[in-house]
Amino acid sequence: MLKTKLFEMLDLKKEDMLRDRRWLHRYPELSYEEEKTSKYILQHYAGKDVKVESDIGGYGVKVTIDSGKPGKTLALRADFDALPLEEQTGLPFASENPGVMHACGHDAHTAYMMALADCLIELKDELVGKIVIIHQPAEEMPPGGALMMIQDGVLEGVDNVIGCHVMSQMDCGNICYHAGPTQLARAKFTIRVQGKGGHGSSPHEANDSIVIASQLVVNLQTIISRRLDPFEPGVLTIGSFDGKGQFNIIKDSVELIGDVRCLSDQTKQLIESEIRNICHGFEIAYSCKIDLDYKNDYPVLVNDEKITRFVVDAIESADIKGINRVLDYGPLPSSEDFAYYTEIVPSCFFFVGAKPQGESYPHHHPKFDIDEDSMIYAAKAMAAVVYKYMEEQK
């Protein structure tokens, strides 16, 4: 049986997963700079009986496993960029690139996917249709590697895309999912408040941009508390207030940088409209000039109901050793550029528990780490989906 062969082969590749993950962790690269990572992936596939395309959407790699038999095309996606953090884990394979760290698990995604791809290449005579492996760069930074790979045609002929993410604060051995809207859309905005500078002793001759910007920060929060339906998720954060100056000088201008998250297009439009309205009102009320630069980037990640049910059934019926629970975890507040795939073809993005022994740290933390057993669980969960996908076509 194909499923049994896949699982047995993956068990034999656990050491390969560890080796690859630790190499990638030691040499992380930021979004849009993943040249060596991409070369490492390409070297992995060199000489194998498979079609490999490079430089898709930047440093992306597309691997097509063609069975030579008619059937649908299933894409499996794994990202491989890192974050601008100084690692503090003390791991023996900690980052050797100053100020750059795999603090989100993308090294693990790439390692398990390369091992799974190897197995599928060896077994391709037992497959039908095609399997496309999407090794994607730049998930962490807009406009996002997913969008760029799509623009370069990575989804041409693809019927469905499946992805998963290891999660450092979900119990290792759990598979978590949600159907429908699953991860939040995101926007970034910059507001420049232009007042009039002056001497601290004569505020009446100036127009204090710090006072205006402070009131603006407070008023922007009323969008969430007073304009948004209480049953509709939404977050507005001012992450930067650049108003540094001198104790006796009234600031001429202040810059605010903020972040918006929401779970529906309607809420996304409402929040943007309200931010624009408040900024315009402040210009009138405070006789100042406000410039707003508002950019929507990642959309809501919407898991297709039918494909998600298919994925859950595949994993549950596979009876994978070490996977204890498959549960609906509900939506997550983070954002993910896998959402772009879900806008084009019916897709599913699920989560693999990777909580390490001892203290666990959240994603994007300098002490982030995972239980490396999560890689074999991710690989087998994906293999179970591939098996069921093949069997239904046969």
Which residues are known to be catalytic? Answer: 81, 139
What is the C-alpha to C-alpha distance for residues 217 and 199, in angstroms, rounded to an integer? 24
Residues, the chain: 394
Instruction: For tokens 């210009």, name the residue.
Output: 283
Q: What distance lies between CA 305 and its chain's CA centroid?
A: 20
In Å, what is the CA distance from 235 to each residue of 202, 238, 260, 272? 38, 10, 6, 12
Q: Report the amino acid identity of residue 178.
A: H
Structure tokens given for 165: 């993410």
Sign of CA dihedral 165, 44, 140, 155: negative
3-state secondary structure of 329: coil
Which amino acid would we find at residue 39? Answer: K
- Assigned token pair, 101: 């760290």
Rounded to 5°, the CA angle 176-179-182 comes to 75
Q: For the chain, how long is the longest CA-to-CA vector?
A: 83
The CA distance from 347 to 362, in Å, is 26
Question: Concatenated DSSP letters for 197-254?
Answer: -EETT-GGGSB-HHHHHHHHHHHHHHIIIIIS-TTS-EEEEEEEEE----TTEE-SEE
Distance between start and end Cα atoms, the chain: 13
Closest CA to 52 of 10, 124, 44: 44
